[in-house]
Chain A
């Protein structure tokens, strides 16, 4: 079965108004890519887009990998080794890529990357957890 980018958005654990990604594409069974479009509605601080939105978008895309089959929801449980080299402004388009590195039980470890104008500017390791019973 193949999915269009718009249909992959349906696999993300969050939907409008809480969904951060504007596009999503499942590259393979462990990798998801997507877009985050920075807007003036992002709660700008002195004109700067909060970088937490990028990590939230990464986590939501990871949810599209970890929970695509179970259709369950989950938690962003931890972020580690996060770093950012750029300031984002309204109008920036961020290309996101998340890769499932490992999983055990209901815990999933991902590596996420953010690119602006094809240059990597953000990266993080993050963990998602699936609750007992598969939903919150």
Chain B
């Protein structure tokens, strides 16, 4: 599995754990599936939990809603944000 695929899978696992999606597995969430507005149907409380998760797991801080708007679109865009801020190699070894 590539670094990018590993990161995306890890993000899916964290979302399921943090948001308590007990009936979902990582394979149920598409990389480009919308997280909000349809798709998984997340809400603003879930957005806060994603912000907390990104900071605690990856050290990535999201300053405001404007910064989150694009990055929180899907698992793929979340992974891009983490890659951009940390680099996949750092995540792989942490």
Chain A residues whose CB sits within 8 angstroms of the CB of B52 once the complex forms: 101-102, 109
Task: Judge whether B47 and A77 touch: CB under 8 Å.
Answer: no
CA distance A78 to B49 in the complex (A): 13
A101 CB contacts on chain B under 8 angstroms: 52
Q: Is the CB of B65 within 8 A of A105?
A: yes
- A122 within 8 Å of B by Cβ? no
Within 8 A of B (CB), among A78-107: 78, 101-107
**Is there an interface contact between B51 and A102, defined as CB atoms closer than 8 Å?**
yes
Does the CB pair A107–B64 fall under 8 Å?
no
Given A102-B51, A102-B52, A104-B51, check contact A77 B65 (CB 8 Å). no
Instruction: Check if A59 is an interface residue, CB within 8 A of chain B.
Output: no
Is B16 part of the binding interface, using a Cβ–Cβ cutoff of 8 Å? no
Question: How many Å from the CB of A32 to the closest CB on chain B?
Answer: 19
CB-based nearest A residue for B65: A105
B48 surroundings in chain A (CB, below 8 A): 102-105, 107, 109, 127
Find out whether the CB atom of A129 lies under 8 angstroms from the CB atom of B44: yes
Q: CB of B14 within 8 A of chain A? A: no
> What sequence of 0s and 1s flags, for each residue 37-67 of chain B, a beta carbon within 8 Å of any chain A beta carbon?
0000000110111011000000000101100
Instruction: State whether A105 touches B45 (Cβ < 8 A).
Output: no
Residues of B within 8 A of A109 (CB): 45, 48-49, 52
Question: Which residue of the partner chain B has the closest CB to A80?
Answer: B20
B51, A106: Cβ atoms closer than 8 Å? no
Q: Within residues 98 to 132 of chain A, which ones have a CB less than 8 A from any CB in chain B?
A: 101-107, 109, 127, 129
Please provide the 3 A-B residue pairs with the shortest distance between their CB atoms, ordered closest to farther: A104-B48, A105-B65, A104-B51
Residues of A bordering B, CB below 8 Å? 77-78, 101-107, 109, 127, 129
